[in-house]
Structure 1
Amino acid sequence: MVARLRPVPDTPPRAVLYLRQSVARDDSISIELQEIAGRDYCAQHGYDVVAVEIDEGISGRTWTKRPAVQRVIDMIESREADVIVLWKWSRLSRSRKDWAVAADRVDVAGGRIESATEPIDTATASGRFARGVMTEYAAFQSEQIGEQWAEVRARRFSLGLPPAGKVPWGWVSRKTHIESIPEQVPIVRTMYRLYGEGRGAAYIAYWLNAQGIPAPRGGDWRPVTVTSCLDSPIHAGLVSYLGETRKGAHEGIISEAEYAKYRRMRDDRSTPKKPRRSTYLLSTLVVCHCGLKRAGSTLTERRQSGRTVSYYSYKCPAATEHTKSVAAWRVEIPVVEWLRSFKVSPAPAPPVSAQADADAIAREILDAERTMDRLTLQLAQDIIPKASYERTRDSLLTEINRLQAAQREAALQTMLPPSAYLDAHADALDSWDDLQVADKQAVLRGVVRSITIRDDGLIEVLPQWGGEPIVLEQAQGVNAG
């Protein structure tokens, strides 16, 4: 068959080289070799190379996650290039649908896609058919690679190894096993402990960054980096694959119970909640001294002048022996003034050693309590006399009390400074008057744990960073309504 000759244009066609290095080792060809082949092909055909776009180390099955392939299609559609040159047809995509969509977009824009090593004249029906065969073969290879990897992952999972070989921060992968990194183990344990105490991922990220501990890929920790690390069951000596979890071939650095507690708390926090639409600034934060939550409520009262005035209040649902409602402005004004005027001074973050000490004390307390349980059981079984039991019991109780006092002291040393909470909201506090109620509520909940209205009328604000509550007086004056 005689090949159809194309007319020679006045200006050389503009070509953009698209290069992609596969993640599959047996299908990976260097970017340099692909570019050399592409430039040689363009030189032979009189093309002017105007751009080189590269997606390195990205699977051919993905499309939206490859920015370079999106750019080359855009260049054809915006008339910045006339032809896309590939090393092989499989470089553009291994997905049948993505290939069809890309080819259609290029054809509609009047461009062409050509391969430097698999030359096919797509201007003819037979050429387009040959290209279809090549792209179908590329899709077949992709599916075959996927099946092989699935077998490998299933095999590794059955041996108690991480299916994909990937391990979280705190671990290193060897050829035949994985093992924990000793200097990172206490840090990972502390991360779980902090989360279990109700500290969020943002708090943990701040603590890690303040310690100068680099993130898995360097740089600063972010909340998503923290949860990505803690989500891995590998820390508890487990491996998971396709929704199934089993005991791994490695020893965990936390217990399965600790990991299960983390997952419960994580799932609870991740449960989608309806957006808050409360118009009450301190909604969910105000507590009565009797222990019940005070809910926002609108009250109407008649003034001495005879005028009826409506205003917001925080109402105790069980108010029978104390003030039932407190005007919202009497509580909101002093709380907001305290928040906006609060001055923080930089304070050093708690050292890792302090966290390790707190963990060690907690383990000592647990050991002492277990000893107490064994001792009580031996007394019940008449293994030891009562006098011996009482002497040992008293000694253990004294030790437990000492350890609990040390634990409280260690907890104070591991507290983060107020700046850990307030710095994140500095911009919002500066523009407080311009914020919507929902945005103000978000700031308050990030800084304030609870607001208690005492029986003497004073207000106690318990900040998120702990310590003694801040005592404020209610705002005075007459509500204008």
Structure 2
Amino acid sequence: MDLQEEAGRRYAEQQGYTVVAVKADEGISGRTWNRKAVKEVMAMVENGEADIIVLWKWSRLSRARLDWAIAIDKVEAAGGRIESATEQVDVSTSTGRFARGMLAEFAVFESERIGDTWKESQARRVSQGRPHSGIYRFGYIYDKATGYTPDPLAGPILTECYRRYNRGESLSQLLDYVLSTGVPSSTRTDANNWNTSRISQLLKSPFAAGFFTYNGQTYQGNHEPLITIEEWESYLVNRDARKGTRKPRTPHNPYTGLLVCTRCEHKMYQHDKHDRATRYMCSGAQTKKLHKGGSIHQSKIDRAVLAWFKERIADEADAAARKATQKTPALPAANTTATLRRALIKEQSRLDSLTAKYVDEVIPRVSYEKLRDESLKKIETFETKLREVRVQQHQARPKVDPKLLEAWPQMQAVEKQQILGLLIDRIEVTPGHDAGHVIIVPKWATAAAE
């Protein structure tokens, strides 16, 4: 880079140019247009901060035809120029522009030729059973002459990881084992740079079984495997089996998804602070600053839920006593509501069609009024029956076992959540240290309001 900068400064001095900035993309191929320095110098010309871009060679701008043409067009449209310090041509003439184009085309040709040679080299390595590159692989030592050979220190560790995994150990247990060996995950890290993701990726690679991947395909390698084919296939079976048997997430509190803030109608979430009592925070107050005082103690919610249980148990006892002295109507079939709704919608559509025909003078007024009155009467009948069904369904509430009050404090969060999910639609909370209060909204109250 020093040679290129020196040539550029010398050219600028010869031409009488003032150097306002030096930009370079060290270590980045000229094949890609997505380079910081290229974008910066283009922006400087477009913003009037510079008039001329001086390159070491024309190929330094880009070795892609389209990108090169776009760059020239943008700079010249902004009133600037691009010049080369070592390949000087007069771009003010047609001959000079042709020469510049030929130099750029030759750079593209060289880039493509090198790329083709590299691809051929990689393909030849793959056909010989060698990976396309000699990158570091845990468990092996790489040498240009001999290729990959098992590492006497790391190799047995990787083999043991596969065998432990096939015996049923988890990735966390494998992590503990690998850390206990004190062996680093690569030559550039210390022994503590291990995690379960790193171990998972290591096991997924078929390299230890004598294979390698290239362009998404698996090939047989000529390196010595660390595990047998049977051990590799056993790993694949165990890995796929574990994917389908992940344990469901266990809730840490019974009110997950039930608490709603009455001030902003946002959900409330659990918030623990070390040894302090559990509180629930309003997401609208915390993240969107919709109001202040967006928290409430869980103990206040617990008391409200238990009080609601007691009230339900008392109501059910009264209902049972009344039922003994009076006959209650049978509960409608489960599909009665859906049937009535379909009939209601059908009759409403019939009335709309009838009205459209009357407006279009397809049927006379007398016939229309007669059919309209019949349809309105049917609609009223369906609506009345729907209300009656909802009332009866509203009365059919799930019962609360009186023993629940005694067992509730000792129950796990997941058990509490299952019970609350059957009985409660939501818990409306007005947060606040002093004014906070709780309202339980049962599922049958929501159904009756529909």
TM-score, structure 1 length as denominator?
0.47
The structure with more helix, counted as a fraction of residues: 2
Radius of gyration: which is bigger?
A: 2
